Structure 1
Amino acid sequence: MPTVLLVRHGRTNANATGLLAGWTPGIGLDETGRTQAKGLAERLAAVPLAAAVVSPLQRCQETAQLLLDAHPRTLDGALSPVTDERLGECKYGDWTGRPLKELAEEPLWKVVQAHASAVTFPGEHGESIPQMQTRAVTAIREHDARIAAEHGDDAVWLAVSHGDVIKSILADALGMHLDAFQRLVADPCSVSVVRYTRLRPFALRVNDVGGDLSGVVPPARPKGEPADGPTDDAEASSDAVVGGSHGGSHGADVRP
């Protein structure tokens, strides 16, 4: 199956000043955020991209545009990103727009920290953290299947979203209970990489903020060989290497 690069948007003024932006409109990247996105674009230059799916919120749209405008190696020329509301930020309800230091005094804050699976944010438009995770994971898996059908199992694609959303997707990929998802970190313009296979997802990178990304690209294979290896060993790419990986990005190569 394809490889998805989960990118958090670059920094915004709300991030810098400690406000919970949520779905507040009109929040774009600040100068630091634009610099972060341009730096990530350089890192992505070695990665051929088959598709891009983006949260509808301005900060993600701006990040995606900076990444794609500078990208020289898309598979089919210029990419037109697909917007999917399911990758939008968690709907924080009445918490939206409030300072984090103020929210930290709320009783619900401790529940968010320790028992995320029990949290529904207050107000008419608040959603639960499990609802956020379900919609986000469903979207990622649906797009991954679509991209596999359109571009093949070796395709690499981009999903630009938000910190809590990405953490919830990673928690699912890692088999973590949602109550533990606060152990994960997704910094502005970080890259986390997941490859879904028949048996399990592989979390190839988490919160990567520097260095070469070319290693996430599947290795070249002999012409005509299926992406999962020979037909009599089709589950090979789902197997983990006993004793540890040799440094490849896509699970074990245990073919005889």
Structure 2
Amino acid sequence: MATVVLLRHGRTTANASGMLAGRQAGVRLDGTGRTQAQRAGERLAAVGLAAVVSSPLERCRQTARAVLDQQAGSPPLLVERGITECDYGEWQGRPLRELAKEDLWKVVQAQPSAVQFPGGETMSQMQARAVAAVRRHDAEVEAEHGPGAVWVAVSHGDIIKSVLADALGMHLDLFQRVNVDPASISIVRYTAARPAVLATNTHAGDLGWLVPPPDASGDAAGDAVVGGGAGPDEPAGSQS
């Protein structure tokens, strides 16, 4: 079972100003976002990553580079259009305070599966292509690097929320219950039985437990342990 770390890009100038950036060019991390990306890279430094896969948009590639800069090895950086930002069409580049007055805003909040952005894609299309891309890369990473491999997908808020909703078995109409902050880390492990969501929207904490022990069996069945199991070993240096 490979493990995917879903990393949202750090805060951008558009996030800070309350603008829906969408796929606009030239949207970069601001000072806070660069610090956030650096912190995410520090958290992942203890994990030998098999690959880093990024949305093609600059804010994600900046975040991906901050992760790669702190890796001891040289995992490849792959660009994947399947996890690029939602195509918000005519909503792109507009202030959120204006969009909140539109009738479609209420549908986005209550019934995302029914949303078609004017001149853009549906939210169902967004989820389908994002989930397909993540699952495809996960299978490729496991096939090349083995069941203990860990890789990172650097993407966007709504994309990661939709992938998490799928992994949790939630209907897309419930995905607004999931929160994904800038530079937050969520973790999913796909198995033959079902996806397992190991973490969501985390901002701090050791991630060394993602490294499998040398004698890990790599059971592909992914059966849930009745009673919850023992969990990972304590990170080195955490015991007093």
Same fold (TM over 0.5): yes
Which residue of 2 is the match for residue 32 of structure 1? 32
Tell me which of 73, 77, 82 is aligned to 2:78. 82
3-state SS in 2 of match to 1:158: strand
| CA distance in 1: counterparts of 2:155 and 2:173, whole angstroms | 21
Shift of 1:243: 2.3
1:59 corresponds to 2:59: yes
| CA distance in 2: counterparts of 1:183 and 1:170, whole angstroms | 11
Larger mean CA deviation between 238-247 and 109-118 belongs to 238-247
| CA distance in 2: counterparts of 1:245 and 1:89, whole angstroms | 37
1:184 corresponds to 2:178: yes
1:48 corresponds to 2:48: yes
* 1:172 partner amino acid: D
3-state SS in 1 of match to 2:71: coil
| CA distance in 1: counterparts of 2:218 and 2:230, whole angstroms | 19
1:115 corresponds to 2:99: no
Gap regions ≥5 residues in structure 1 = 229-233, 250-256
| CA distance in 2: counterparts of 1:215 and 1:133, whole angstroms | 29
**Aligned residue pairs: how many?**
233
Output one character per residue of 1:118-167: Cα deviation in whole Å (capped at 9) or x when no partner. 001002xx000000000000000110111111100110001000000000
Larger mean CA deviation between 112-121 and 210-219 belongs to 210-219
Which residue of 1 is the match for residue 225 of structure 2? 241
- Give the conservation status (yes or no) of the 8 Å contact 1:204–1:216: no
Shift of 1:246: 2.2
Output one character per residue of 1:62-110: Cα deviation in whole Å (capped at 9) or x when no partner. 00011101222xxxx3123100111100000000010111100000000
| CA distance in 2: counterparts of 1:139 and 1:187, whole angstroms | 21
In the TM superposition, 1:176-255 aligns within 5 A as: 176-221=170-215, 226-228=217-219, 235=221, 238-248=222-232
| CA distance in 1: counterparts of 2:131 and 2:232, whole angstroms | 25
Output one character per residue of 1:205-255: Cα deviation in whole Å (capped at 9) or x when no partner. 000111111122223316xxx521xxxxx63xx111222242239xxxxxx
* 2:85 partner amino acid: E
Larger mean CA deviation between 161-170 and 38-47 belongs to 38-47
Gap regions ≥5 residues in structure 2 = 234-240
| CA distance in 1: counterparts of 2:36 and 2:112, whole angstroms | 29
Shift of 1:185: 0.6
| CA distance in 1: counterparts of 2:218 and 2:70, whole angstroms | 29
Query: Cα gap change, 1:109/1:245 in structure 2, threshold over 3 Å: closer, same or farther?
Result: farther
Output one character per residue of 1:172-205: Cα deviation in whole Å (capped at 9) or x when no partner. 0000000000000110000000000000000000
| CA distance in 2: counterparts of 1:215 and 1:106, whole angstroms | 45
| CA distance in 1: counterparts of 2:209 and 2:70, whole angstroms | 20
Which residue of 2 is the match for residue 14 of structure 1? 14
| CA distance in 1: counterparts of 2:212 and 2:98, whole angstroms | 45
Q: Which runs of 4+ in 1 moved over 4 A?
A: none
Which residue of 1 is the match for residue 163 of structure 2? 169
| CA distance in 2: counterparts of 1:218 and 1:91, whole angstroms | 37
Q: Kindly report the root-mean-square deviation, in angstroms, between the aligned alpha carbons of the 2 structures.
A: 1.3
3-state SS in 2 of match to 1:56: coil
Give the TM-score, by structure 1 length: 0.88
| CA distance in 2: counterparts of 1:220 and 1:192, whole angstroms | 24
